[in-house]
A and B are shown apart, each in its own frame.
Chain A
């Protein structure tokens, strides 16, 4: 599933990242690589998704999220 489909306060692991090389290097440099554990903090329509990963709060544009697939971690 796409990162933008993860519900608030749910945890997930990034399974794949795809996009042009500019996007790939940018998303890597902020620490969102396959295998990274993330926690969705806020996910409202028309707003960037707020994600917590590697001790960092990250705001991600919804369109960019489409390039990030995740697997939800079931608690």
Chain B
């Protein structure tokens, strides 16, 4: 029996996975949310003789209902399964990253705030007065760097405090801002306490003003018709913009006096100047992926070398079977089919392991976001995101490597579509015979044949994208890139190896 359940909530790049991995280590399991193609990550950890359950809520930008991820997150929080919600924010970008907290304010589940990436903020000269924030917010607040394994005592004590206090965010000042919005008071007066379980009337009113489909439907369902007509007579012109302005105003007030003002000079680093260069950006990305592909052989080689032991076993078994007078057919079955293919499996495993490690590293460090930026326009034509270029390039080496690399794409539909398209890219083995065979059959016409093959490949990808794209990546969910380019991070080797090991447990067990 666990002592408590904690839910982790944070925008992408808030360090949520780092915290989740550091807390749970190997004690985690990954599945799917029922009926949804959204990954469900849960785990547990022990501290002071007590066991805690941790739920890593799907990555989302706010508490609105624009994606499956966000609906799942909301439902989970109000289900009461979590005793406390841990909201993460990036200390170096508080002004923006506290948005999740502001959007959460008014939800009826106890929470506490973790200001992550203390180290980055300190490097920029930003000092946060945690105590002042705590007083203003009325919930436990702490600051640390989730990558610093020695800093976790503070996390545990804050967690204990949050579990004991079960406090909610003070919303008075935020509501004062909301009250200035036209129609806010009129709508709110029609919503009684407890209309929708887990949310305050303030929160519901704000989401209704934002045209939140789920909340609007729920209100229609729960509120008496006459009151609902009154609500619906009020025009929702300003939408998310007006409420968003309120939230950011509230954040500014919060930070006023709690954070020293610094003027950071914005300049692109050397590497970013290359990646964002109009001419060199694409070649630089292609080069990065090729280097990554070559680099993946470094961790892969030991495993591939180990696979040659299988050959020795095969020869030994073959020798033993021959002397035992085994039928050649049976011998072929045992040696060439069973044992040999086991060797292939290990070799492939080594390669996939290498690809997962290296491209996981590129993601962690922040390079993948740049790749997304450079190829956003091109890949957008196929209904994909910029990151999809990476699996395609890897597929020129090996299709399985490309499919494994598709792991870094965060939307399920785009991931599947990328894999479906990557299959059209001829792999290294095909390239080894394509020039030879085309010369044998077509002589001087070989280059034309090769170019034709590439054109067919593009045509194939285009048709596949047309047929399956609409189903996998819904048009209304196709959203042009609105993405943060995070600063480069130092890789966390421990977490990365654990990630790679976990994703391979399945393969190893299946092939064994």
Contacts and interface: CB of A to CB of B under 8 A. Distances in A.
A28 B95 contact: no
Interface in A2-53: 17, 21-31, 33-36, 39, 41-42, 44-48, 50, 52-53
Contacts of A27: 482
Contact of A64 (B373, B374, B482): B482
14 contacts: A21-B213, A22-B476, A26-B61, A29-B61, A33-B245, A33-B248, A42-B276, A45-B278, A48-B376, A55-B264, A58-B483, A59-B373, A60-B481, A61-B480
A27 B66 CA distance: 12
Given A29-B99, A61-B482, 10 more contacts: A17-B241, A22-B479, A25-B210, A28-B244, A29-B244, A39-B266, A47-B373, A50-B485, A61-B480, A64-B479
Contacts of A52: 266
Given A25-B62, A39-B266, A64-B482, A33 B211 contact: no
B281 A47 contact: yes
Majority DSSP secondary structure for residues of A touching B: mixed
A38 B248 CA distance: 15
Given A26-B482, A59-B481, A61-B481, A47 B96 contact: no
Contacts of A54: 93, 95-96
Interface in B362-407: 369, 372-374, 376-377, 380
B291 to A, nearest CB: 22
A57 interface: yes
Nearest to A18: B241
Interface residues of B, number: 48
A13 B372 CA distance: 26
Nearest to B66: A22
Interface of B: 11, 61-62, 64, 66, 92-96, 99-100, 103, 210-213, 239-241, 243-245, 247-248, 264, 266, 268, 276, 278, 281, 369, 372-374, 376-377, 380, 476, 479-487
B248 A59 contact: no
Given A29-B103, A58-B485, A59-B376, A21 B210 contact: yes
B380 A61 contact: yes
B266 A31 contact: no
A64 B487 CA distance: 23
10 tightest A-B CB contacts, nearest first = A61-B480, A28-B244, A31-B96, A29-B61, A29-B62, A54-B96, A24-B240, A21-B211, A57-B485, A64-B480
B241 A56 contact: no
Nearest to B369: A59
A55 B485 contact: no
A26 B99 CA distance: 11
Interface residues of A, number: 38
A47 B377 contact: yes
Contacts of A48: 373, 376-377, 480-481
Nearest to B481: A61
Contacts of A35: 245
A57 B90 CA distance: 13
B203 to A, nearest CB: 14
Most buried by B among A21, A35, A41: A21
A33 B485 CA distance: 18
Given A28-B62, A28-B241, A31-B99, A56 B93 contact: yes
Most buried by B among A26, A35, A39, A45: A26
B241 to A, nearest CB: 6
Nearest to B13: A56
A34 B96 CA distance: 14
Contact of B376 (A22, A34, A61): A61
Nearest to A16: B241
A47 B278 contact: yes
Contacts of B241: 17, 24, 28, 33-34
B266 A41 contact: yes
B26 to A, nearest CB: 33
